[in-house]
């Protein structure tokens, strides 16, 4: 048995590697290669696999590990933020999809049990595929990614009562079924569920972090791996007593660990195993399909696939639209949910065993499910250009913009020379607080209703809408703004917003926060003036801490930081500006920058003239202007005298500016 399983795994990996290499050459996602591998090696292909049950078991492990790592990368706090879309949006999506597909089946004369089961099957989407693709694209934290995640979580929870309903559907008297549980049984089941939930909460809060800490102190990777896997499968097994699937239990296990400081280490350990076992899931799904049946009914299969994809997209788009999200975001989330889910296979197999689903209908479902799953990467590729075209249709303009006319409800004077903050996440919130402290006029654009509410409670001038829309940007006064800061998590939207802001206001300064250095060049081409890459800044923060630990003098560290930033960022800047000025000089000369210092009380500069101190000759920096209260002093000469609390605008090389920074501080 063991030798046969080993041989089967060897065959599967060999064919998957060959198919994967071929598909990689033609830019087809590996997901499609895995499904095709399953079709080739399965009983309806070349029948190369003898141990189908073992391969299916490996596939189940893959799903468990996949949802476990997804749980590790989230937290209960983050899930709480999307509770509205999860509960309300998820209920709308599942309810609308079930009603449509069940009603369609009844219209074609299907039996009630079979029609209801089909409504169950086609109302669910693939958590494994959607989250994997969104992770790879860096869109999991984007508005449409958060919506898709919330709805998928609701779907996975909704799959539990669907599975439990199958015995009822199998009854010949569907609406006159005897209760399956007595009152005592029901009380015991509720007590059991509550006990398990309390156990999980207590473990997540006190026991598991403590044990992880003790194991981490041993510095033994094997023990750490064993404990992480034990938590994954142990929690999944424990939760399964409530009727929840092992996969959902694994997701909860990941969420439990995600609250600890060891979650990243756990992800790095489990990730290689997850990718291997997940491939078995897609291969095992491909093995179920009778390719001869699908080919014999090819036109019907194609027609039903189109009906399913179009209907699921429209119905999944309707849910976030009903909650006030703009068309672009709602449509992208709808396209992401246009496939059939992995839990649908479990429900379909249970339905077959219960005698609800005929073999031909089951095979038709498999063909639809596999094609929609395999098509998901291509559908998402098609999503961004499609939604851009939809948003330009005049009849859809209001829906496209969202509630673009809705801000904090207060009257604002004509905005001018203000700051526009696009995105009210952590970066946007900190920037808004800093702007409030500096009394800088501002307008905030945010797409998340919860964050909009939070901003309004803080008294911020917030606009609810999609910043990819010209109407929303114009409502924020982008044409008269001095600076726009783009701090959202959608890479495609960031590029589009950057280009639109530059088109609407050629003279504005655009500052963009992005995740990766690789995205910077395109953003500069799109019109950004400054791009702050989290990846780059994290490395700067790390080496700064390291140098401090080695007692490197602060001025040397600041000098090095200035040189790294100047060299690291400027090598990526390739834009050319049509109008020359001081900002362009700073952009195009890598070793020149402009910054501002407050002249603190006790600074050696206080009360002295610039000629007397001679900063240009002694320290190779030049003061261009001085801000004194509400007065701007621009006619700088050797007779200009500095006073305490003046703000000096300084020009020079980053290294010289870093060295001279101490002159502006109070001497102790």
Q: What is the DSSP string of 581-631?
A: SHHHHHHH-TT-EEEEEE--TT-TTTT-BHHHH-HHHHHSEEEEEEEETTE
Q: Read off the tokens for 661.
A: 């920074």
Domain spanning 592-664: CATH 1.10.287.70? no
Tell me which range, 160-174, 229-243, 260-274, is most confidently predicted by mean pLDDT.
Answer: 229-243
**What is the Cα 450 distance to its own chain's centre?**
17
Give the per-residue pLDDT at 178. Answer: 44
Asked if pLDDT for residue 160 goes beyond 90, the answer is no
Mean pLDDT of 299-309: 93
User: What is the rounded CA–CA span in Å between residue 306 and residue 218?
Assistant: 56
Mean pLDDT of 504-512: 90
Domains of the chain, by residue range, sit at 2-391, 403-570, 592-664
Asked if pLDDT for residue 335 goes beyond 80, the answer is yes
Query: Which segment of 15-24, 173-182, 483-492 scores lowest on mean pLDDT?
Result: 173-182
User: What is the rounded CA–CA span in Å between residue 81 and residue 206?
Assistant: 23
Give the per-residue pLDDT at 185. Answer: 57
Residue 158, SS3 per DSSP: helix
* Pairing status of strand 631-633 against strand 621-628: antiparallel
- What are the tens digits of pLDDT across the range 319-333? 888 887 888 888 889
Domain spanning 403-570: CATH 3.30.160.20? no
For residue 138, the number of C-alpha atoms closer than 13 Å in the C-beta half-sphere is 12
More confident of the two residues 178 and 633: 633
- pTM score, whole prediction: 0.64
Adjacency order of strands within the sheet including 631-633: 593-598, 647-652, 621-628, 631-633
Mean pLDDT of 383-408: 62
Same fold, 2-391 and 403-570: no
| H or E stretch covering 449 | helix 449-457
User: Could you tell me the pLDDT band of residue 425, with boundaries at 50, 70 and 90?
Assistant: confident
Mean pLDDT of 590-595: 71
More confident of the two residues 71 and 492: 492
Give the per-residue pLDDT at 174. Answer: 43
Query: Which segment of 251-260, 350-359, 656-665 scores lowest on mean pLDDT?
Result: 251-260
Maximum distance among all Cα pairs of the chain, rounded to whole angstroms: 100
- What are the tens digits of pLDDT across the range 530-588? 888 887 777 778 888 888 777 777 777 777 777 776 665 554 444 434 444 455 555 55
Asked if pLDDT for residue 17 goes beyond 50, the answer is yes
| Mean of pLDDT over the chain | 79
* Pairing status of strand 593-598 against strand 483-486: unpaired
Phi, psi of 307 (to 5 degrees): -60, -45
Q: Which fold has domain 2-391?
A: Na+/H+ antiporter like fold (1.20.1530)
Mean pLDDT of 12-20: 84
Residue 662, SS3 per DSSP: helix
Residue 417 and residue 480 in contact, taking contact as beta carbons nearer than 8 Å: yes
Give the per-residue pLDDT at 397. Answer: 55
DSSP at 638: T
User: What is the rounded CA–CA span in Å between residue 166 and residue 180?
Assistant: 12
- What are the tens digits of pLDDT across the range 53-72? 766 676 677 677 767 776 77
User: Could you tell me the pLDDT band of residue 313, with boundaries at 50, 70 and 90?
Assistant: very high
| Radius of gyration of the chain measured on its C-alpha atoms | 30
Give the per-residue pLDDT at 652. Answer: 84
User: Could you tell me the pLDDT band of residue 161, with boundaries at 50, 70 and 90?
Assistant: confident
User: Could you tell me the pLDDT band of residue 414, with boundaries at 50, 70 and 90?
Assistant: low
User: What is the rounded CA–CA span in Å between residue 180 and residue 187?
Assistant: 13
User: Could you tell me the pLDDT band of residue 404, with boundaries at 50, 70 and 90?
Assistant: very low
- What are the tens digits of pLDDT across the range 246-303? 766 777 777 777 766 666 677 677 766 666 766 777 787 788 788 888 889 999 999 9
């Amino acid at each position: 048995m063991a030798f046969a399983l080993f041989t089967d795994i060897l065959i599967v990996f060999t064919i998957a590697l060959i198919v994967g290499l071929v598909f990689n050459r033609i830019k087809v996602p590996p997901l499609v290669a895995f499904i095709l591998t399953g079709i080739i090696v399965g009983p309806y292909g070349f029948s190369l696999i003898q141990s189908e049950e073992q391969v299916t078991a490996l596939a189940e492990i893959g799903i468990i590990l996949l949802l476990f790592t997804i749980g590790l990368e989230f937290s209960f706090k983050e899930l709480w933020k999307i509770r509205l879309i999860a509960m309300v949006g998820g209920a709308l999506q599942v309810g609308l999809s079930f009603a449509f597909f069940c009603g369609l089946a009844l219209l074609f004369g299907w039996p009630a049990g079979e029609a209801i089961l089909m409504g169950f099957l086609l109302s669910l989407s693939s958590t494994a595929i959607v989250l994997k693709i969104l992770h790879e694209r860096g869109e999991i934290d984007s508005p449409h990614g958060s919506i898709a995640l919330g709805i998928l979580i609701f779907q996975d929870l909704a799959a539990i009562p669907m599975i439990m309903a199958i015995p009822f559907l199998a009854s010949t008297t569907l609406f006159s079924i005897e209760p399956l549980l007595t009152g005592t049984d029901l009380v015991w089941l509720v007590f059991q569920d509550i006990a398990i939930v309390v156990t999980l909460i207590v473990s997540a809060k006190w026991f598991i972090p403590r044990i992880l800490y003790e194991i981490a102190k041993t510095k033994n990777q094997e023990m750490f791996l064993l404990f992480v896997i034990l938590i994954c499968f142990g929690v999944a097994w424990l939760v399964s007593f409530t009727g929840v699937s092992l996969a959902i239990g694994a997701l909860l296990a990941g969420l439990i660990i995600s609250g600890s400081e060891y979650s990243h280490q756990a992800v790095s350990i489990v990730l290689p195993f997850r990718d291997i076992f997940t491939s078995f899931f897609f291969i095992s799904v491909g093995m179920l399909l009778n390719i001869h049946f699908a080919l014999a009914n090819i036109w019907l299969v194609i027609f039903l696939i189109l009906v399913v994809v179009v209907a699921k997209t429209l119905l999944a788009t309707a849910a976030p639209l009903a909650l006030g999200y703009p068309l672009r975001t709602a449509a992208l989330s709808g396209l992401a949910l246009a496939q059939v889910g992995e839990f649908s296979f479990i429900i379909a197999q249970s339905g077959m065993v219960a005698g609800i689903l005929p073999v031909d209908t089951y095979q038709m479902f498999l063909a639809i499910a596999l094609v929609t799953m395999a098509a998901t990467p291509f559908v998402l590729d098609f999503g961004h250009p499609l939604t851009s075209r939809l948003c330009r249709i005049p009849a859809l303009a209001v829906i496209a913009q969202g509630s673009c006319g809705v801000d904090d409800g207060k009257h604002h004077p004509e905005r001018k020379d203000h700051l526009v903050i696009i995105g009210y996440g952590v970066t946007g919130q900190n920037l808004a607080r800093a702007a409030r402290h500096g009394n800088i006029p501002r307008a905030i654009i945010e797409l998340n209703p919860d964050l909009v509410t939070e901003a309004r409670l803080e008294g911020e001038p917030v606009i609810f809408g999609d910043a990819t829309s010209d109407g929303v940007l114009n409502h924020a006064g982008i044409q008269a703004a001095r600076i726009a800061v783009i701090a959202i998590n959608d890479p495609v939207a960031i590029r589009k917003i950057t280009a639109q802001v530059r088109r609407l206001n050629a003279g504005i300064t655009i500052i963009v926060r992005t995740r990766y250095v690789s995205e910077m060049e395109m953003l500069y081409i799109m019109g950004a003036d400054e791009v702050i890459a989290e990846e780059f800044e994290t490395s700067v923060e790390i080496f700064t801490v390291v140098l401090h630990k080695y007692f490197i003098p602060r001025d040397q560290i600041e000098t090095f930081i200035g040189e790294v930033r100047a060299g690291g960022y400027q090598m990526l800047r390739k834009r050319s500006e049509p109008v020359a000025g001081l900002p362009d000089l700073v952009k195009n000369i890598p070793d020149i920058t402009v910054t501002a210092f407050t002249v603190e009380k006790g600074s050696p500069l206080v009360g002295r003239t610039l000629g007397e101190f001679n900063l240009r000759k002694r320290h190779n920096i030049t003061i261009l202007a001085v801000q004194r209260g509400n007065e701007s002093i621009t006619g700088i000469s050797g007779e200009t005298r500095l006073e305490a609390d003046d703000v000096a605008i300084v020009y020079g090389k980053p290294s010289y500016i870093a060295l001279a920074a101490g002159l502006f501080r109070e001497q102790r």
